[in-house]
């Protein structure tokens, strides 16, 4: 890998701090600001030399180190609670072929992460169903550059659950199309209800058995303990 590894690492650490401490939500923005802070007058030159800048994956690794240092054992309890919420949402929206993606599935969820679910079908029908269920939600349109131009993607943010839930809405015909992560370019793993249930049994056996018996998750978010605990949202896709 070309470029100075010490400089790349310093920018990655600073970008992670920006995302975790200061609420910068996108890797691109964090990288740009971090480069300016670390490199000063040389930051403009570095933008033209990608080898001088860390990848999204390097920033993510630095970010996860900060998470582990900051959150300790509370992180595991939060992860279980978020996975249960994902299961409940997916079961409720089974007609939209829901698939869990991102940090809740991978185990990298942190304070401020949301539950990311892809759903497939008609947007208007889905909004009617959320209204029928009594869920509070807010729509968002995101314009993304795609080959040949731009495309509007529709997201529904469920706001009245224990953790924020983001539903990314795709057409029914897109269920089997491959989408790629903005972090490392690899195909996004879209996880079914059955796979999530298997993960819960494997990694949270006692807690999952208790939840199956009671329907209750015993988790209350602890107080923020300092600068490491700023909220942010994931940019996995």
135 has a pLDDT exceeding 50:
yes
Q: Which of 134-138, 147-151, 222-226 has the highest average model confidence (pLDDT)?
A: 134-138
Provide the token pair at 233.
């949202």
Q: Which CATH architecture has domain 74-216?
A: 2-Layer Sandwich (3.30)
223 has a pLDDT exceeding 70:
no
Q: Are strands 137-146 and 99-101 parallel, antiparallel or unpaired?
A: unpaired
* Calpha distance 16→22 (Å, rounded): 9
Provide the token pair at 138.
């807010």
* Calpha distance 226→113 (Å, rounded): 17
Backbone region of residue 167 per phi and psi (left: phi > 0; alpha: psi in -120 to 50; beta: other values): beta
Domains in the chain: boundaries:
5-71, 74-216
Q: What pLDDT does 36 receive?
A: 87
| pLDDT tier for residue 85 given thresholds of 50, 70 and 90 | very high
**For residues 91-104, average pLDDT:** 95
* Calpha distance 118→75 (Å, rounded): 24
Listed residue (190, 188, 199, 189) closest to 84, CA to CA? 199
Q: How many other C-beta atoms lie within 10 A of the C-beta of residue 52?
A: 19
**Residue 34: strand, helix, or coil:** helix
| pLDDT tier for residue 146 given thresholds of 50, 70 and 90 | confident
**For residues 137-160, average pLDDT:** 92
109, 162 Cβ separation under 8 angstroms: no
Q: Which of 25-39, 96-110, 124-138 has the highest average model confidence (pLDDT)?
A: 124-138
Q: pTM to 2 decimals?
A: 0.71
Q: What pLDDT does 3 receive?
A: 64
Q: Rounded to the nearest 5 degrees, what angle is found at the Cα of 87, between the Cα atoms of 215 and 131?
A: 95
* Calpha distance 158→93 (Å, rounded): 13
List C-alpha distances in Å: 229 to 108, 163, 222: 15, 15, 11
227 has a pLDDT exceeding 60:
no
Task: State the average pLDDT for the chain.
Answer: 85
205 has a pLDDT exceeding 90:
yes
Backbone angles phi, psi at 145, to 5 degrees: -75, 130
Q: What pLDDT does 52 receive?
A: 75
Q: What pLDDT does 179 receive?
A: 80
List C-alpha distances in Å: 217 to 59, 72, 98: 32, 19, 22
Answer with the residue of higher pLDDT: 218 or 180: 218
* DSSP H or E segment with residue 152: strand 149-158
Answer with the residue of higher pLDDT: 97 or 110: 97
């Amino acid at each position: 890998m070309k470029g100075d590894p010490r400089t790349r690492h310093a920018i990655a650490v600073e970008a992670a701090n920006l995302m975790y401490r200061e609420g910068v939500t996108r890797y691109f923005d964090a990288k740009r600001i971090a480069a300016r802070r670390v490199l000063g007058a040389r930051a403009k030159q570095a933008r033209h030399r990608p080898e001088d800048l860390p990848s999204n994956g390097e920033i993510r690794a630095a970010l996860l180190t900060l998470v582990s240092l900051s959150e300790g054992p509370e992180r595991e309890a939060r992860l279980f609670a978020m996975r249960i919420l994902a299961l409940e949402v997916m079961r409720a929206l089974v007609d939209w072929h829901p698939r869990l993606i991102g940090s809740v599935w991978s185990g990298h969820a942190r304070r401020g992460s949301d539950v990311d679910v892809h759903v497939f079908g008609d947007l208007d029908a889905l909004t009617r169903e959320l209204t029928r269920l009594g869920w509070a939600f807010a729509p968002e349109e995101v314009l993304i550059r795609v080959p040949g131009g731009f495309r509007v993607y529709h997201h529904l943010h469920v706001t009245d659950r224990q953790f924020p839930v983001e539903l990314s809405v795709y057409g029914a015909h897109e269920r089997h199309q491959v989408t790629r992560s903005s972090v490392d370019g690899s195909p996004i793993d879209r996880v079914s209800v059955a796979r999530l249930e298997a993960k819960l049994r494997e990694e949270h056996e006692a807690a999952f058995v208790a939840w199956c018996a009671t329907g209750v998750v015993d988790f209350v978010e602890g107080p923020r303990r300092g600068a490491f605990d700023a909220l942010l949202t994931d940019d996995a896709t």
